[in-house]
Structure formats: structure tokens, C-alpha cells
Amino acid sequence: VLSVLNHDCAIASAAARMVTATHGRPIIEMGSRRAHEDAAVASARAAYLAGFASTSNLEAGRRHDIPTAGTAAHAYTLLHDSETDAFASQVAALGKETTLLVDTYDISQGIRNAIAVAGPELRAIRLDSGDMSVLAQQARELLDSLGARDTGIVVSGDLDEHQIAALAAEPVDTYGVGTALVTGSGAPTAELVYKLVEVDGRPVVKRSEHKGARGGRKTAVRRHKPTGTAVEEVVVSQGAPEPMPHDRPLQRRLVAGGEPVDPPTLEEGRELVKRGLRSIPWEGLKLSAGDPALPVVFQEGRSS
């Protein structure tokens, strides 16, 4: 259980930061090459749960019904006698709704070749290297001059949430993120632990000189303003919290008798994450390190 939670929570947390940084523009998960084969599928699922639009991992699409997307690799262009031949082959196979990778050789010529082959109806081009803030501007100007005003721009190439945020004002339509996502963007584990706190109704606690702990069963709620913004989390020992308007319980039974209890669908979980992100105060959405946005208050509970 800890293996699944530590990995998936780390990936989903990184994905949520990236989604926040895009201000509504879609992100494609492209990290399979940089992860173990099983972790790649799990990462794609966690990223989609946190708000990514699609994945390049076809097994994740098959197993979890996640939308799939992607483009050709540079090797595909190099395989052909010319860039034009490569683009023509890709368009013949996938139609004009595909995305053409234009930076194998010269980017400006690659864009011209892409529009010459697919026409202004081409769905998108992809840029994978270089200064994206400059290249996206230049690519947009060139596409517009060629009449391809509706052709989108996808950028990739070792992006993380900070680089995505830096591109907020640029004419980027979609992001492709791989390595930073599947490595947790600097936090490869959520550092979750298991602590036994009660045995047969008797509180138990680990004693440590340098770590504080509280024994006994607990109940946790997240409290919100009437506007829906979260303000604090309340953890109550040996009882139930005093009910307040706009409380959201943070615990529910997940397993009973060894079987899952009403597991949500992936789409239901995705909506839950979206609502949770909307409730976090602005300081909790900062990309820089700082103090916790939601204080945790410990209380002794009333009898339930």
C-alpha cells in the first residue's frame, strides 16, 4: 500500500503543480521512456488524475481509458530521405489532425515544410529544444504568415512546473512533460509512513526523542470559508469534531473484509482532485517552497 501511495501521490502532486502553472492549457504526459515499465503506466494514471489531458503511453490508455496523444520522434524524420518525406508519410497515415515535429533540422524550414505538406489545416507543430519563449513567438509569427492561424504549438523538452509558468505569456497551446513528471519534479516520493495508533481500542504510540506523535484513533476534517476556500485541517483525538458549516471529512472506509469499498472511477477521482485544488488558498498554489498553506489544529474530541 505504501509503495503505491508514495509513488502515485508524488507523481500526482507534481502533475497538479504543472497543471496549475498552465492556467488551463492542456498537458500531455510523455514520461514513459524515463520510468520503469510498470511505473510508467502508474505515472500516466496519476498524472491524468491530477489534471493532465492525455498520455503518450498506449498501455495506460488501454488499461485506464485515458485519452492518448503524441507525435513522431526525431528518429522518424531521420529515417526518411527528407523532412518533407517524413511529414508526408505521417500525414498519410494519421491525417492533418496530427502534430509534426519541426526541429530535427532547421525550425523555420521545418515549419514551412509542415504547412507545405499538410496545409493550414495542420493540427499542430511541436518544438522540443531551444529557448521556448523565443521559439514559440517566432513559430507563431511564421505559422500566421503562412495562413496556418489555427495550427497549434506544442512544446516539450525537459519541462517542469517552473519552466511552464515562465511560458505563461507565450503563444504555447499544449505542453508535453516527461522526465520531471515521472521523477516527481524533485520529490520522487511523498514520504508517507504507516503508524499504528490503536490496538483493540487501546491507544499506542512510538516514543522518540526527536519526533512527536499522538496515539489513539483520530478524526480529521478540512474546514472551509462559505466561499469554498479551505482555511484549516482539524485532527481530533478520541472523538468527533464539533460540526461546523462547510466541513469536509478527510477520511472514509476504503477496504472492508479485504475488498475495496465503493472505489471511485478515475473520472470521479479526477473531479475530486479538481475540486480540491479549487479550494486551496492562493498561497498553497505557489510553486516556490514556503510554509504550509493550511494549518493543522489538534483537538481533544467530544464523545460521539
Query: What pLDDT digit, counting tens, does each position of 287-302 carry?
Result: 988 888 899 999 886 6
Place of cell 531551444: 130
Residue 194's pLDDT is: 92
Which of the listed residues 186, 221, 240 is the one where a domain comes to its end? 186
Query: What pLDDT digit, counting tens, does each position of 247-289 carry?
Result: 999 999 999 999 999 999 999 999 999 999 999 999 888 898 8
DSSP 177-238: E-HHHHTGGG-----------EETTEE-----SS-----S-EEEEEEE-TTS-EEEEEEEES
Give yes or no: residues 226 and 109 share one domain.
no
- Given a contact cutoff of 8 angstroms between Cβ atoms, the answer to whether 134 and 157 are in contact is no
- Name the residue range of residue 150's domain: 2-186
Give yes or no: residues 12 and 107 share one domain.
yes
pTM: 0.92
Domain count, the chain: 2
Cell numbers placing 264? 471511485
Cell numbers placing 139? 513559430
In a domain, 201, yes or no: no
Q: How far is CA 222 from CA 45, 243, 254, in A?
A: 26, 11, 19
Give yes or no: residues 69 and 156 share one domain.
yes
- CA 95 vs. chain centroid, Å, equals 28
Give yes or no: residues 254 and 119 share one domain.
no
- CA 37 vs. chain centroid, Å, equals 18
- Given a contact cutoff of 8 angstroms between Cβ atoms, the answer to whether 173 and 154 are in contact is yes
State the Cα–Cα distance between residues 71 and 181, nearest whole angstrom.
Answer: 18
Give yes or no: residues 171 and 253 share one domain.
no
Query: What pLDDT digit, counting tens, does each position of 181-202 carry?
Result: 999 998 999 999 999 999 999 9
Residue 304's pLDDT is: 47
Query: What pLDDT digit, counting tens, does each position of 153-172 carry?
Result: 999 999 999 999 999 999 99
In a domain, 73, yes or no: yes
pLDDT band at 226 (very low <50, low <70, confident <90, very high): very high
- Given a contact cutoff of 8 angstroms between Cβ atoms, the answer to whether 133 and 157 are in contact is no
Give yes or no: residues 137 and 167 share one domain.
yes
